[in-house]
Amino acid sequence: MEMEYNLSIELRGHEDDVRRICVCENVGIATSSRDKTVRFWPLDPATNRVPESPKVMVGHTSFVGPLAWISPNDEFPGGGIVSGGMDTLGMVWDLKSGERVHVLRGHEMQVTGIALDDRDIVTSSVDCTLKRWRNGKAVESWEAHNAPVQAVVKLPSGELATGSSDTTLKLWKGKTCVHTFVGHTDTVRGLAVMSDLGVLSASHDGSVRLWALTGQVLLEMVGHQSIVYSVDSHVSGLVLSGSEDNTARIWKDGVCVQVIEHPGCVWDVKFLENGDIVTACSDGVVRIWTTYEDRAANPMEVQSFSEQLSAYKISRKRVGGLKLEELPGLDSLQVPGTSDGQTKVVREGDNGVAYSWNMKEYKWDKIGEVVDGPGEGLKRPVLDGKEYDHVFDVDIGDGEPIRKLPYNRSDNPYDTADKWLLKENLPLSYRQQVVDFILENTGQKTFSFDSSFCDPYTGSNAYVPGGTSANHAISNKPTFNNFKHIPKKGVLIFDVAQFDGILKKMSEFNNTLLSDQGQKQLSLTEVEMSRVGAVVKILKDTSHYHSSNFADVDIDLLLKLLNSWPLSMVFPVIDILRMMILHPDGASKLLKLINGGNDALIEIIKKVTMSPVIPANVLTGLRALNNLFKNTSFHQWLQYHRSEILDAFSAYHASNKNVQFAYSTLILNFAVLLIEKRDEEGQLQVLSAALEIAEAESIDLDSKFRALVAIGSLMLDGSVKRIAMDLDVESIAKAAKSSKDSKIAEVGADIEALTKQS
């Protein structure tokens, strides 16, 4: 790229985050916002100036997200706009009049994507479905993924492409999935067409990928430091991406050629036909950027933007555990100290500088710049490259992965909850639960709530803990067939590890081998132990999973230990491999070995079920196998080896509570996978294993619950249900329904209701 993009114009009017942009040919652009409005900005393509005030479309009752442009036709002579919102609705607007023409009702949760298919409208949703609309009415609906569908785009070839929280893209001809693209390691959040090449995807894993329609990855663009929310392309071959790291990035041939910083999260990015770009920022401003001098902003506008950016950076910078902007200025040094050696940190420009009170000379002596807080800088948790007072692991249930919730004690917990729910695309009805969680886990039992606060979604005051509200949120999590716990959506993994304990145990075992002349040759050298430590360090640094890598020698070393160390010593090695499976590069390297004929996973199964059976080996082996389900690249392997896996562990699943739980989780994960694969033979084997757990007397309640959920989910298929009935599932359901444990009773009732359905 010969010329850089510079600011052209700022479009101000939205009162909250600008979430999406829609380029309306050469007519103008439409934008959506958390302020519940859609705005259309008529744009002069020669100057990027707005000749008149934007048209504001009001109708959504919650924040508005995806947008689509309807080219002028007989129904919409001036063109139309389709919008989707957190309120579960789609809306069709006549641009000429600004009036709402259709309301698309039918999704159970937030609308996340919109694509036009001829005159039909296709929408995606957090409720896992796609819906097709014609003349304002739903004409088709189908479950597209096993997790929220985050984006949908129409391809020039006629197919639809979708991206999902299940980490995959899918290609659709009608309601038939013709291909699943596997490669991302986290939610696929945004999609775009790249002319004549394929489809672009933006992911929470921090990367942008270009896929051929065969599923081959043509390019991977890595450079963002956080979630990538959006991506777009231009006929020139340039690619544009927007991220939570507060940047828009321009890519050419897979290489980042420019980074454009913003004073906030960049939610969406789009190219205009003339090559200029538009960005949507969390500060509520739409910005257009250009490479042409005659369309560039004047020096005063550029200076104003620079000041906005500087102020934002200062507001984010922390010194000594405090925000830089909260530090006193140099004038505070006019006040004498109270004791010799007293220290004070003041703001000098963009830095914090420490001073010490010199009682003898009665003046403040400059110590130097403060680069971290005394005694706390390295202790503050980091997420996506930013420090916080707290980073919580939040389990939202229903098999969803653990989410990271960052929080600073100086923040408003309600504001934190709002932003986090938006980021994670979770229902607003979780809001109060998130706030309660924050208050409980930070010890902030009381919170002085600003009574003037206005909920950006409902326009009303928020519900305050201990207070009352006329508008209590009602959970709008998706329900299926009115059952409480079935079918199971998503898989369950074991992603928590005591790394210090693992290293300590390996060191202990290694010292034992060193002291035994007969086994000394099996021990690790100092260099090899340091390699193990380096592997663990990478695994600990979850914020950089998208960019960190393992050396081949690291994998080789762990597999050598797996094969050579005594049976009683291999469980910490398997524990490291268990966590490596969750790392993108680690999983990729293991898969490469398997495809090359060195099936380390089969070796783990053989090792942990070898006589004499050691419970710690069985436990770590089961947990490692469960973690494979998170990465769709391993699904074919799991399906192929399903019989030998289940047969290998069926004899040992009752050895202790933790092993029971890991085994029942394996059964449930296999149920989810084999239902998706429509593998009836496999489903019947899993059903048999689940029934065995459910009927057992001395089984932990959590393990029994997972087995019952697997049974109920499998029974939604008619043929499996008939066999379950033959195996007296009715008596199992009846016994579960009478349990004192509420979850067991509820899933028992679900299964009983299934048995009574014709």
For residue 479, tell me if it sits in a domain: no
Same-domain status, 140 and 204: yes
131 and 194: one domain? yes
Tell me, what's the pLDDT at 138? 95
Statement to judge: residues 415 and 498 lie in one domain: no
Residue 107 reports pLDDT greater than 60: yes
Model confidence at 538, pLDDT cuts 50, 70, 90, reads very high
Q: Is 700 within the bounds of a domain? A: yes
Residue pair 614/569 in contact (Cβ under 8 Å)? The answer is no
**What pLDDT is attached to residue 468?**
29
- Provide the residue range defining the domain that includes 417: 389-442
* Residues 681 and 723 grouped into a single domain: yes
Give residue 1's pLDDT band: very low, low, confident or very high (50, 70, 90): low
Identify whether residues 196 and 250 lie together within a single domain: yes
One domain, residues 93 and 205: yes
Residue 562 in any domain: the answer is yes
- Would 725 be classed as within a structural domain? yes
Cα(314)–Cα(324) distance, integer angstroms: 6
Q: Check pLDDT > 50 for residue 375.
A: no
Residue 51: pLDDT band by 50, 70, 90 thresholds? confident
pLDDT of residue 241: 97
- Range with lowest mean pLDDT among 165-169, 317-321, 338-342, 681-685: 317-321
506: Cβ–Cβ under 8 A, 6 or more apart, which residues?
Answer: 529, 532, 572, 573
pLDDT value of position 318: 60
Residues 197 and 297 in one domain: yes
Both 36 and 95 in one domain: the answer is yes
Answer whether residue 602 shows pLDDT above 60. Answer: yes
10 Å Cβ neighbour count for 358?
14
Which CATH number belongs to the domain containing residue 734 in this structure? 1.25.10.10
Residues 496 and 579 in one domain: yes
Q: Write down the pTM of the prediction.
A: 0.53
Task: State the total domains in the chain.
Answer: 5
Res. 399 pLDDT band, cuts 50 70 90? very low
Q: Averaged over 153-162, what is the pLDDT?
A: 95
Can you list the alpha helix ranges (DSSP code H) found in 471-614?
499-514, 526-540, 552-564, 571-580, 584-595, 600-608
Q: What is the C-alpha to C-alpha distance for residues 719 and 313, in angstroms, rounded to an integer?
A: 60
Look at residue 473 and tell me whether its pLDDT is greater than 60: no
- Biggest distance spanned by C-alpha atoms of the chain: 94
- Judge if 329 and 406 occupy the same domain: no
d(CA 650, CA 655): 11
Report d(CA 502, CA 509) in Å as an integer: 11
Q: Whole-angstrom Cα distance, residue 454 to residue 461? A: 5
Residue 384 lies in a domain: no
Which has more confidence, 372 or 237? 237
| pLDDT confidence of residue 132 | 97
Q: What percent of the chain has pLDDT above 90?
A: 48
- Domain shared by 291 and 360, yes or no: no
pLDDT at residue 573 in the model: 93
Q: Is the pLDDT of residue 479 over 60?
A: no
pLDDT at 480 over 90: no
| pLDDT single digits (tens) 244-294 | 889 999 999 888 999 999 999 999 999 999 999 999 999 999 999 999 999
- On whether both 559 and 678 belong to a single domain, the answer is no
- For 79, the token pair is 């063109």
Q: Is residue 461 part of a domain?
A: no
Residue 76's pLDDT is: 94
Per-residue pLDDT band for 66 (boundaries 50, 70, 90) equals very high
